[in-house]
Every structure is written in C-alpha cells, then in structure tokens.
Copies of this chain bind each other. A is one copy, B any other.
Amino acid sequence: MKITALAGGVGGAKLAHGLAQILPPEDLTIIVNTGDDFEHLGLYICPDLDTVCYTLAGLANPETGWGRTGETWQTISNIEKLGGPSWFRLGDQDFATHIERMRRLKAGQSLSQVTRDFCKAWGINHTVIPMSDNPVRTIVKTDQGELAFQEYFVHQRCEPRVKAFRFDGVEEAKAAPGAREAIQSADAIIICPSNPWVSIAPILAVPGLRPEMEAKQVAAVSPIIGGRAVKGPAAKMFDELGIQPSALAVAEQYRGLVNYYVLDKIDSQLEAHVQRLSMRTLVTNTLMKTADDRKRLAEDVLNFAGNIT
C-alpha cells in the first residue's frame, strides 16, 4: 500500500517514523510543513523538516522534541557572549544543517534538492519532501500584533493570544516537485498528529495539494488527546480561537477532506460525534511515548487505512 503522510513537528515526525518502520522506502512519502521555516543568524532553518529527518534518521533528541541527540552548545553560547541573539537554541550539530543548507540554497539548489541530499547523507531511504520550494511563512495574528511564527512560538513562548493565521506567500507557492504526484499515486493519505492550524493548514494551503487530496481517501490522527495537545500550543490555539479543544474540534477542521479519523481511547465518547462529520473512526492508543508506540500506532492506522482502499 502506497502511503503519503503530511507532517509538521514532533507528533508528525513520530508517526512518520512509525510508518517508516513498516513501509518499504518506495511506499512512503512524507510531505512536510515549511511554514515555520525562517532565516536566522543568516542561516536557513526548517524546524519541521529537520525534526522529521532527525527523527527518521534516529538523530533526534527524544527529550526536547527538537534538535539532535548528543548535542553540544558551544556555538550558541559563544554567540550569546558576543551579544548576539541566542533565544533560538541551536546546537553545534544542528548548526551544520542550517549552515550547509543556506550555502546550497545560495548556490542555487532548491529546498527539495537539499532535503534529498541531506536524507541520503543521514541514511533516510523513505522520501521526504518539503511542501514547497518557495518560501511560505506562517504569520500568527495575536493580541500583540502579527508575529512571525518562530517569534511567536519560541521567542515569545506562545504567550500572545492567537486571533488568526496567515501563510505569507502561499498563493504564489508551487508544490515541491513530487508532492502532487505522491498524493495522486498514494492509496491513502495520512495526516499525522500535527497541529492543524500551523503544521497541516499550511500544507493544505499550497495550491493544488488539497484538491488532489480531496480525490483520495484521507485518514487523520488527532493531535489532541483528552482535550490537551501532547506537545505544543494546539489546544491553547483552539481555546483562544473560541473553540473548545478536543479531538472532535480537530476533526471539524478537517471536515470535507478527511474520511477516516483516529482518536485516542480516552476520547471514545467523541466517536459518535466524529462519525456525524461523515468520518469513519478508529479508537486506539494514540500517545507515542516509545519507539514501539510509534510502530504500533502506525500499524493501527495502516490497518484502518487498509480498509479504505
């Protein structure tokens, strides 16, 4: 079964890793959000792309949910001593990724070419594609004005109240080479348990991708468990947008796109409500604490999606 998964950061990366443990390389493509990419310290930083790749390669730091394992902090601490901006914590190994990526982009390579080369260097055999080679920038409209995503997310620690989101440049963006084709040729699309507002919505906003998906069977896994986000500000965002955060609220965001919806056992009381959105449901353990959890959830989702086709 050919699967194309959409992923943002940590949660998405974990399920992608689970899927990669089961599916052969030629049967899994992961399309990754680039809306939270930004230029910082003159370097090109792609947090979601790196989280997905580091996770697939076994290089991810399991404690932080970002960055690399066995990381050291010499560069950023010396930048700090020089009075430079140090709020975005980049490790010494991680710096290599951003320095070399910027070098290649400046030399004319596309982000998807760079990603392909990096995956090869890191021993990742499944296909990872950024949603677009064109810059798309998630802007968070807040009670403190419009904030670039990392400014909101890292520098201001998600403290400003969210009012809306905007994806700068998305109208002009083209889907990265292979992204549409991966959706077209997939037996099923899996939307990983990523933030629907800032991880999945930017991907769906890239011209051409959502229409392709609407022609497909699409399964989504809720990133909200028991009314709370496993990681990140998804629940807080729902709250501030006036929507009670729940697996049901996420399902409502995906109405008209998703036909198969996976929610946690703790949320089983929501199953009937989700079904009323014309979605078939799977209730299972969706919390991924261990590598085994990732694989088990991936199996559950694939079995569920297996019934789709």
Contact = CB atoms under 8 A, between A and B. Distances in A.
B106 A82 contact: no
B42 A83 contact: no
A21 to B, nearest CB: 23
Contact of A93 (B71, B74, B85, B99): B74
A78 B106 contact: no
Interface residues of A, number: 31
A96 B76 contact: yes
A59 to B, nearest CB: 10
A43 interface: yes
Interface in A78-112: 78-79, 81-85, 91-93, 95-97, 99-100, 102-104, 106
Contact of A97 (B78, B92, B99): B78
Interface string A113-125: 0000110010000
13 contacts: A41-B103, A42-B42, A42-B99, A42-B106, A71-B74, A72-B74, A72-B92, A77-B96, A82-B118, A83-B121, A84-B104, A95-B95, A95-B99
Counting from the closest, the 7 A-B pairs by CB-CB distance are: A78-B96, A74-B92, A84-B100, A92-B92, A79-B96, A82-B100, A75-B96
Interface of A: 41-43, 71-72, 74-79, 81-85, 91-93, 95-97, 99-100, 102-104, 106, 117-118, 121
